[in-house]
Structure 1
Amino acid sequence: MADIRSPFLGLLPLPERQAITRALRTETVGGLVLLGAAVLALIWANSPWSAAYASVRDFHFGIPALGLDLSVGHWTADGLLAVFFLVAGIELKRELVVGELRTPATAALPVIAALCGMAVPAALYLATTTAGGGSSAGWAVPMATDIAFALAVLAVLSTHLPAALRAFLLTLAVVDDLGAILIIAVFFTSDLNLWALAGAIAGLVLFYLLQRLRVRGWWWYVPLGLAIWALMYNGGVHATVAGVAMGLILRTTRDKGEEVSPAARVSHLVHPLSAGIAVPLFALFAAGVNISGPALGAVFTSPEPLGVVIGLVVGKTVGIFAGTYLAARFTRAQLNPDLAWADVLGLSVLAGIGFTVALLIGELAFPGGQTSEHVKAAVLVASLTAAVLAAVLLRRRNTLYRRLYEAETLDADHDGIPDIYQHTPTAEDTTARTDGRPT
């Protein structure tokens, strides 16, 4: 029997399209809130009340006896972003179990594209800083894509990207997040406290056993999750790793009689908290950088921030586009005939928006000092540049996108199922979902 495969960026199976739509709806709203928080941070930090901004950001509180006497900025980076990475871990698990990453054939293109989209920016950063005599410490800063910020840009532009293009962007961001997590865990770990780290690992083992034994009840998991987070922080590993570890442990498949899986239930409850509160608060206290003339000039004259700008704007575009094109040629994947490689180029440019995780890695790579502020400014400048360039490219194709989007969503008989799926049914459309999300 011939191998019948859907074209690359073709029509998604209906259950997958429904899951993607639900996930991206929350991300888009959260991205708009994130955009507002970043703008507020810049206005506040460059206003006559900038001293108040610094005072709030640097205010310390916590429990010193537990090693948790942190500044507000530190709490948002190590505490609230753990919630963001918990959601990222759940989404990664879902992609591995039932999504685009579940089989080598479907995973090859987005994984290769994402890896190239991380490797090329890092290489360009290192080339720039080496040539300019700068520090190589920030090589990982331009490697991350901020899916929420990218979707916010799409919402502001009022584009009608087909579901397959949005799904491809989401999968790229998921793989990006995994790369960022591994980088943070491996390269930004210092002064290990083995006892605390052992306690965190023991907590994760207990978390796993509770899932395996089908133990239910938030009163088990919330205190245990907080203990794992605190132990991970005191163990010397960045506390956000605890969030993604718990996300990966949560069960993604549902048992008989369950309406939704534990992972889907937690994601439904926590995702709005992550997108609407945790990430915007982090942005509020991380994006408040000086945007005076000299500060912006340093972005293009100092090797470290210049490397970040080149890495995000040029490296992401070249890496993702070239990786996707070569992987498609190697796997003989056929591009959806309704689309063109110009659409992949537009997505590649959009992926240069590297806000949340890029700012986090920038803080870890350059803790304090003028270089840290310049690198943060570079992330903002690069993200804005990528957004403008992507807007130009994607808006040119928006007439086509609107036609494809309307065809995907048309439901003339009002039965809740888009007509396109009734006209071209596939075996995947009727396959029962196993990720615990209602269809």
Structure 2
Amino acid sequence: MASEKEPRTFLGLPSWPERAAVASALRAETVGGIVLLVAAVVALAWANSPWSSSYADARDFHFGISALGLDLSVGHWSADGLLTVFFLVAGIELKRELVVGDLRTPATAALPVVAAVCGMAVPAAVYLTTVGVGGGSTQGWAVPMATDIAFALAVLAVLSTRLPSALRAFLLTLAVVDDLGAILIIALFFTSDLSPLALAGAAGGLVVFYVLQRLRVRGWWWYTPLGVAIWALMYNGGVHATVAGVAMGLILRTRPDDGTGPHPHEDASPGDRAAHLLRPVSAALAAPLFALFAAGVTLSGPALGDVFTHPEPLGVVLGLVTGKTVGIFAGTYLAARFTRARLNPDLAWADVLALAVLAGIGFTVALLIGELAFTDPATAEHVKAAVLVGSLLAAALAVPLLKRRDVLYRRLFKAENADLDHDGIPDIHQHP
């Protein structure tokens, strides 16, 4: 008698509800940050294990199409190829903030924008000062400038039981501007052997992409081949290929048609739909694979000692831990003190300090800039280790500060609910 249960295919695709549940989980910053952390831990364990040679072999294995100039190592494919998806999602987030988010009005955007700019400038200055005193190379000035949005938001999401939502909005806006600054730095300072013809082709592809958006053309079969062509032309043009992802993200419309004009009503904009579909790919594949092949550094006792004795890695650690904290907090305070910009009334300055320390987590983009800045393998390994150490120190310092703020907000919440009057209106309004 045949079994009534439907047989499961070994190693086959899970059911649609299961796939939908996994994709939904990966859209959460907490899960994405955990996946990224697991990939980094696996990379470190693999690179420091007896099988470290297999790690190097896997990272340096080449494949691709030589005739198109795309015969790359696995490490380069993850950094130049898959990471483009990560920056495409970042570009969509930036466009959304500029069009419908906090960045659309100067009044609400002023403080986080100033915080982001100061949070990039001060770490660079700290790095340059450190290598200037120690006689090191200035090439890595941009490494400690970047905040890793996935890790930072994941830490905040894990701890955020009663922290105000304005804190997350402030961090998100700051990180979006930070990502834009990192992309501009990569495009302007880390380019080589520019090919005007290939760059002209990439620009032409972006124009076609823009026209298709304006004409409301839908269908992945239009945009996927065009996006791949733009990426390949950008790569061969000498500009880091992830710039193509940000450019396409900024072109995608993030405001849906409401049906009042010549175009029919849209439930969601193309940018929102693309971000919804690509965020699980970015969280589960692009960023973790980059971390897997970028974070595998040797962490022996002497190697960790080199982080604090060589000027370049020491500059990175100090830039992430102290430069980010001082830059973001001081920039925010001075802007609120001497301009018309005002801190969100839901936030206290202690919240900003905790957030400034948290922003010192600079993983994905910092590792990428470190790879681009240093061609010497030994220095590059030291700088990678410094990014990991600096990010870990920043997280370790931020967690107790955030937990303390969370305890205060939870205590206030309980007091307000305990003292509700008969109309259900809280009698306590004191800010911690």
Shorter-chain TM-score category?
0.7 to 0.9
**Is the aligned partner of 1:357 residue 2:365?**
yes
Shift of 1:405: 8.0
Q: Residue 420 of structure 2 corresponds to which residue in structure 1?
A: none
Whichever residue aligns with residue 40 of structure 1, its letter is V
CA distance in 2, matches of 1:312, 1:36: 21
Q: Residues 295-334 of structure 1: matches in 2 within 5 Å?
A: 295-334=303-342
Q: Residue 122 of structure 1 corresponds to which residue in structure 2?
A: 124
Q: Residues 282-431 of structure 1: matches in 2 within 5 Å?
A: 282-335=290-343, 339-402=347-410
CA distance in 1, matches of 2:198, 2:233: 5
Residues 48 and 148 of structure 1: CA distance in aligned 2, closer, same or farther (over 3 Å): same
Show structure 1 runs of 4+ deviating over 6 A: 404-408
Whether the 8 Å contact between 2:26 and 2:32 is mirrored in structure 1 is: no
Q: Which residue, 168, 176, 179 being the options, matches 1:177?
A: 179
Unaligned 5+ residue runs, structure 2? 1-23, 260-264, 417-423, 426-432
Q: Residue 134 of structure 1 corresponds to which residue in structure 2?
A: 136
Residues 384 and 319 of structure 1: CA distance in aligned 2, closer, same or farther (over 3 Å): same
Whether the 8 Å contact between 2:32 and 2:284 is mirrored in structure 1 is: yes
Residues 403 and 214 of structure 1: CA distance in aligned 2, closer, same or farther (over 3 Å): farther
Q: Residue 216 of structure 1 corresponds to which residue in structure 2?
A: 218
CA distance in 2, matches of 1:276, 1:102: 30
Q: Residue 8 of structure 1 corresponds to which residue in structure 2?
A: none
Whether the 8 Å contact between 1:355 and 1:380 is mirrored in structure 2 is: yes
Shift of 1:368: 4.5
Residues 227 and 25 of structure 1: CA distance in aligned 2, closer, same or farther (over 3 Å): closer
- Structure 1 residues 209-229: Cα deviation after superposition (integer angstroms, max 9, x where no partner): 111111111100000000000
Q: Residues 15-414 of structure 1: matches in 2 within 5 Å?
A: 26-157=28-159, 159-255=161-257, 256=259, 257-335=265-343, 339-402=347-410
CA distance in 1, matches of 2:208, 2:345: 50
CA distance in 1, matches of 2:220, 2:415: 42
Q: TM-score, normalised by structure 2?
A: 0.86
Residues 364 and 227 of structure 1: CA distance in aligned 2, closer, same or farther (over 3 Å): same
Residues 407 and 240 of structure 1: CA distance in aligned 2, closer, same or farther (over 3 Å): farther
> Identity of counterpart residues, as a percentage?
80
CA distance in 1, matches of 2:266, 2:110: 32
Whether the 8 Å contact between 1:31 and 1:152 is mirrored in structure 2 is: yes
Residues 61 and 352 of structure 1: CA distance in aligned 2, closer, same or farther (over 3 Å): same
CA distance in 2, matches of 1:272, 1:372: 30
Q: Which has the larger radius of gyration?
A: 2
Whether the 8 Å contact between 2:27 and 2:283 is mirrored in structure 1 is: no
Unaligned 5+ residue runs, structure 1? 1-21, 409-418, 421-439
Shift of 1:343: 1.2
Residues 297 and 324 of structure 1: CA distance in aligned 2, closer, same or farther (over 3 Å): same
Residues 117 and 402 of structure 1: CA distance in aligned 2, closer, same or farther (over 3 Å): same
Whichever residue aligns with residue 190 of structure 1, its letter is S
Residues 156 and 164 of structure 1: CA distance in aligned 2, closer, same or farther (over 3 Å): closer
Q: TM-score, normalised by structure 1?
A: 0.85
CA distance in 2, matches of 1:369, 1:163: 43
Whether the 8 Å contact between 1:144 and 1:358 is mirrored in structure 2 is: yes
CA RMSD between the two structures: 2.1
Q: 3-state DSSP class of the match of 2:63?
A: strand
Shift of 1:158: 6.1
Q: Residue 10 of structure 2 corresponds to which residue in structure 1?
A: none
Residues 68 and 338 of structure 1: CA distance in aligned 2, closer, same or farther (over 3 Å): closer
Residues 228 and 63 of structure 1: CA distance in aligned 2, closer, same or farther (over 3 Å): same
Q: 3-state DSSP class of the match of 2:279?
A: helix
Residues 162 and 405 of structure 1: CA distance in aligned 2, closer, same or farther (over 3 Å): farther
- Structure 1 residues 180-221: Cα deviation after superposition (integer angstroms, max 9, x where no partner): 000000000110111111110000000001111111111000
Shift of 1:138: 0.3
In the comparison of the two structures, how many residue pairs are matched?
A: 389
- Structure 1 residues 116-162: Cα deviation after superposition (integer angstroms, max 9, x where no partner): 00000000100101111100000000000001111232345465432
Whichever residue aligns with residue 163 of structure 1, its letter is S
